[in-house]
Amino acid sequence: MRKTDVLSDIRALERDVEKIRELGVRKRKARSRVARPAFAQMSLMQFIVAVADFGEDQAPMEPHHLKDLVDGIEKANIPKPIRLCLSIPPQHGKTTTILCGIVWMLLHHPSWRIAYLSGKASMSQRWRTEIERMLTKVGFEIYQSNVNGIRVIHNGKPAGQILLRGFRNPVVGEKLNAVFVDDPHRDMLEALSPTLSRQTFDIFNGSILTRAIPGESSFFVVHQRLAASDLIGQLEKFDAWEVVNMPAVNPDGSTLWPERWSFTELERRRLETSEYIWATQYLGKPATYGAEIFSERGVKEKELPDVNECDVVYGIDVAYKLKAHNDFSAIVEMWHHRPSGEFYVPYVWRGKVPEETFCTHLKGLVKRRNATIWFVGSPLERSTAERFKSEYNLPLRFRSTNQNKYERARMVAVAWNGRSINLPPEVDWDRDTFLGELLSFQGTGAYGTFDDQVDALSTAFEALRQPNTLSLAEAWEAGKGLIPQYNFGSGLRFSREKR
C-alpha cells in the first residue's frame, strides 16, 4: 500500500470521528434543551427523587424530614441571602440533600459559583463523580472537572462552577454565590479541642465568610453536633444566623425520619453509645464531655451465680508510677456467667498501700479463684507489669494503650447502662465509693478526681470479650444468652455462641 493511500485513509477516519463527535454534541444539546426545562420546573423535593442515587436497598423518597434544609435552599437569594445552621443526626440523608440542592441551584442560576466544603478534603472529592452524574442527567455539559471542582457550559460558553474543597483548603480569591459547609470537623476530638475548634471558627470567619458577594451570597452550615464549641455552637451566638436543631427522637417519642429510623432502631443505637454521644449527636444538645457515662439507671442487684459456671478475671489499676496526685490502686473482680451471658462484680478493692502489700493481697485473690490478672496501661507502665510478674510471680497479662480514659470506659458503660453488669445485694467492700466514682466519672483525669476503679472495671470487661460476634442490633433481635464483647477499634459486639 502506498503512503498516499494510508494518509488518505487516516484523513477519512478523522472526518468520520469528527462527524460522530458533532452528532454527540448535537444530541447532548438536544437533550439539554429538553431535560433542563423539565427538571427546572420541579421543586427540590421532586428533584431529589428524580436525580439522587438511592441505591438498590432504598426506595426513592422525598426527604420531608429535612424540610428546613430544602426550604432554605429553595429560598436562597429570594428575596435576600440567608445564613442557616442546621444540626442533623448521623445517617439522616443530609449530604444527599445538599448535593442535589447544589445541582438544583445551578439549574436555576447557571452562572453561579457554589462551594461545597467538608472537614475532610477526600469527602469533597468523593462526591465529584456523583455531582457530575447528576449534572449530566439534568442536561448540563461539563466544561471542566478536576480536583478543584466542576465547571459547566451554558449557552455554549463556560459558566457556573461548583467548587469542591476541604474545609481547611483555601477558597481565597473566589467570589461565591452560595456556600455549603458539610461536617467541618474531622472528628469529635477536634470539635472538643478548644484550640482546634477555635481554628475552625477562625477559618470560617476569615477565609469563607469573606468570599461573600455583598447582598447576594447564602451560607449553609450543616453537621451533627459534636461539642458545645463546634462550629454551630459558635455561630448560634450571633443574631445573623438562623439555627435549626433536628433531634432524631422528639419528646413525644416520634422520630425525625420514621421511614428509615424507627424508635426501636434508635433505642438500639442509644444502647450502643454513650450518653454524651446520644445527647450531642442524636438529640443536638451538647452535654458536658464525659457527663453521665455511667448512668444511675444501670445499677442492678442480683445474687451471684455458681462460680464454676463463670469465667473470672481481675482488672487492676496501679499507683506505682510517676503521677503524684493519682496515688490509689484498685482491683476489680469480674465474672462472666456463661449460661446467661451476664456480668457480675463480686469484689472491688481500692487503697493506698505499698507495692508489696498490694501484690500480696492480689496474689491471695488469684489463688482463691484461679483467675488471671489483666492490666491495661500506657507503654511506660510495661516495666511495672514485668516487675509484678518477675518479683511477685503474678499471672498477669499486660496490654499497652494510648487511648484516653473516656474512650476506654465508653464500652463498659454501654454494658452497665444496658443493665448487663450486676452487683451482689450484700458486699463486704465499699460499694458506695465504687458507685460514687462510676456515676461521677467524666474521663478528664483532672486533679482531684478519681478514676482508678473505673479503669480497673474497663480492663476486666475487656478481658472477658468473646470471639464470633454480631452487631448490637442483631443481638437485640436474637434474644437472650448473647455475650457483650468490646474490642477496641470495632466497638461493642455480642457473641453468637457461648464458650
Which residue shows C-alpha cell 470495632? 490
Name 401's Cβ contacts closer than 8 Å, sequence gap at least 6: 376, 377, 378, 408, 488
**Would you say 311 and 335 are in contact if contact means Cβ atoms under 8 Å apart?**
yes
Q: Which three cell numbers stand for residue 260?
A: 428509615
**Fold of domain 296-464:** Nucleotidyltransferase; domain 5 (3.30.420)
| Average pLDDT of the residues of the chain | 82
Give the model confidence (pLDDT) of 106-138 as tens digits.
999 999 999 999 988 888 788 899 999 999 888
Q: Which of 196, 245, 286 is nearest to 86 (CA)?
A: 245
The domain spans of the chain are 1-39, 42-282, 296-464
SS3 call for 329:
strand
CA torsion angle for 116, 119, 125, 129 (degrees, to 10)? -60
- Looking at residue 444, its pLDDT comes to 61
Orientation angle between helical segments 128-137 and 94-108, nearest 10 degrees: 40
Give the model confidence (pLDDT) of 353-369 as tens digits.
999 999 999 999 998 88
Range of weakest confidence among 136-140, 359-363, 429-433, 488-492: 488-492
- Looking at residue 431, its pLDDT comes to 93
Residue 465 pLDDT exceeds 50: yes
Q: 42-282 belongs to which homologous superfamily?
A: P-loop containing nucleotide triphosphate hydrolases (3.40.50.300)
| Two domains, one topology: 42-282 and 296-464 | no
Which residue shows C-alpha cell 445527647? 279
> Nearest 5°: phi and psi at 153?
-105, 135
Of 20-29, 172-181, 409-418, 435-444, which has the strongest mean pLDDT? 172-181
> Nearest 5°: phi and psi at 148?
-85, -20
